[in-house]
Amino acid sequence: MSMLGTRLDAATKGLPAPLAVVDLDALEANADDLVRRAAGVPVRVASKSVRVRSVLEAMLARPGFAGVMAYSLREALWLVGEGVDDVLVGYPTVDEGALLDLAADPAAAGAVTLMVDDVLQADMAQRAAASGGNRLRVCLDVDASLRIRVGPVTAHLGVRRSPVHSPEDAARLTAELVRRPGLEVRGVMFYEAQVAGMPDSSLAVRAVKRASVADLARRRGQVLDAVRDVLGHEVALVNSGGSGSLETSAADPVVTEVTAGSGLYVPTLFDGYRSFTPRPAAYFGLDVVRVPARGFATVAGGGYVASGPASGSRLPRPVAPRGLALTGREGAGEVQTPLRGAASADLRIGDRVWFRHAKAGEVMERFDRVHLVRGDRVERVVPTYRGEQRAFG
């Protein structure tokens, strides 16, 4: 058994599996690393990569962190009700009921910023503002993908996130927003997924990242100039970056804040980055319930597959004891997961196997509580979003 497995086994001895664990020493070291890499630019915590309110609150209490990026307006309203005073909703919403609730609550309207990239989203927010009587703050989501033109062909490198890409696009949307009473343009967001969310897996990927960073260093300023010309004043918020791109985003003087979340737990998809040293902090434990044949052991549960393109990179990975792997035929199963490898020879029924998830916060949707471990003991047990009876998609 590895030192990791021995330590986690000792901390959770007698506790039933499946169970989720966060290693506090690793979490806090990762938090310090994010702040160091941001070089004085405030770090906004991405809640979708955490999904444990007590962990969010602990990060917000640390120097260098400021505000939450939520993935749902209803989530944002809940967090504000629990005392969070600055929430940027990272994605557009068409939830009319939540918009009406936001506009009817002056405290929430003053704490939450909505994301828009289309006038139809703005129209919904405007109607809610007119009904509720409070101005709603909005942020433009500007597509940060890299576009390379070769003759008549334009290559789009990155996700298809927003229709707003150029300074002209941003100026047109800003002009539409200022014509809508009840809305206040607070800022602009650029999320460079092809930099922040891609491991440094090849020379080609690294070349795309360098080109993207150079493009954004130029285009952010151009977009901001266009927005400022329409508004007649500066914006308060310029958000950029992710766990994989904090240094380059924070280095741009126009950026007022960066966002990070996955860099706290460090799931397996973040193992290939060169910009930081991965310190895995989140694990889940499953118990062996069968030994069906020599070289195999089967654990109960485990079908925690991450979102994204269907591939082996989205499957959980057994990490303790070392020398185990999923089988190609069955992968990670909903109620049982067979494992094979050299370490299976030493596994007995009742032994525990520890896994890491491919993505950060998603695994917390599978558990109603998480055990916060320091060293070889459980320091606290806290509810996940699910444990607080909250589900936001």
Give per-residue pLDDT as tens, 327-340. Answer: 999 999 999 999 99
Q: How far apart are CA 1 and CA 17, in angstroms?
A: 18
Tell me whether the omega of the peptide bond preceding residue 321 falls within 30 degrees of 0, making it cis.
yes
Position 215 scores a pLDDT of 80
Q: What is the mean pLDDT of residues 291-296?
A: 94
Position 191 scores a pLDDT of 86
Q: How far apart are CA 208 and CA 218, in angstroms?
A: 16
Domains of the chain are: 3-18+280-386 (2.40.37.20), 24-261 (3.20.20.10)
Q: How far apart are CA 142 and CA 247, in angstroms?
A: 20
Q: What is the mean pLDDT of residues 62-69?
A: 98
Query: Which residue is associated with the tokens 């491991």?
Result: 199
Distance of CA 350 to the CA centre of its chain: 34
Q: How far apart are CA 109 and CA 67, in angstroms?
A: 15
pLDDT digits (tens, 9 = 90+) for 70-79: 999 999 999 9
Position 84 scores a pLDDT of 98
Bridge partners, 285 (sequence order): 19, 354
Position 209 scores a pLDDT of 67
- This prediction has a pTM of 0.93
Distance of CA 191 to the CA centre of its chain: 12
Q: How far apart are CA 43 and CA 263, in angstroms?
A: 11
Range scoring the smallest mean pLDDT among 125-129, 154-158, 317-321: 154-158
Q: How far apart are CA 226 and CA 175, in angstroms?
A: 10
Position 1 scores a pLDDT of 56
pLDDT at residue 147 above 60?
Answer: yes
Position 149 scores a pLDDT of 64
Distance of CA 362 to the CA centre of its chain: 9
Position 148 scores a pLDDT of 67
Tell me whether the omega of the peptide bond preceding residue 18 falls within 30 degrees of 0, making it cis.
yes
Position 393 scores a pLDDT of 83
Which residue in 197, 58, 63, 223 sits closest to 143, CA to CA?
A: 223
pLDDT category, 105, cuts 50, 70, 90? very high
pLDDT at residue 201 above 90?
Answer: no
Position 192 scores a pLDDT of 76
Contact indicator for 29, 279 with CB cutoff of 8 Å: yes
Greatest CA separation found in the chain? 73
* CA 216 to each of CA 11, 128, 275: distance values in angstroms, whole numbers, following the listed order: 46, 34, 18
pLDDT digits (tens, 9 = 90+) for 348-393: 999 999 999 999 999 999 999 999 999 999 999 999 999 999 999 8
- The fraction of the chain above a pLDDT of 70, given in percent, is 92
Position 144 scores a pLDDT of 83
Average pLDDT value over all residues in the chain: 92
Q: How far apart are CA 128 and CA 132, in angstroms?
A: 6
Position 366 scores a pLDDT of 96
pLDDT at residue 8 above 80?
Answer: yes
pLDDT digits (tens, 9 = 90+) for 214-241: 788 888 999 999 999 999 999 999 999 8
pLDDT category, 80, cuts 50, 70, 90? very high
* CA 207 to each of CA 72, 157, 192, 215: distance values in angstroms, whole numbers, following the listed order: 33, 12, 14, 12
pLDDT digits (tens, 9 = 90+) for 251-279: 999 999 999 999 999 999 988 777 778 79
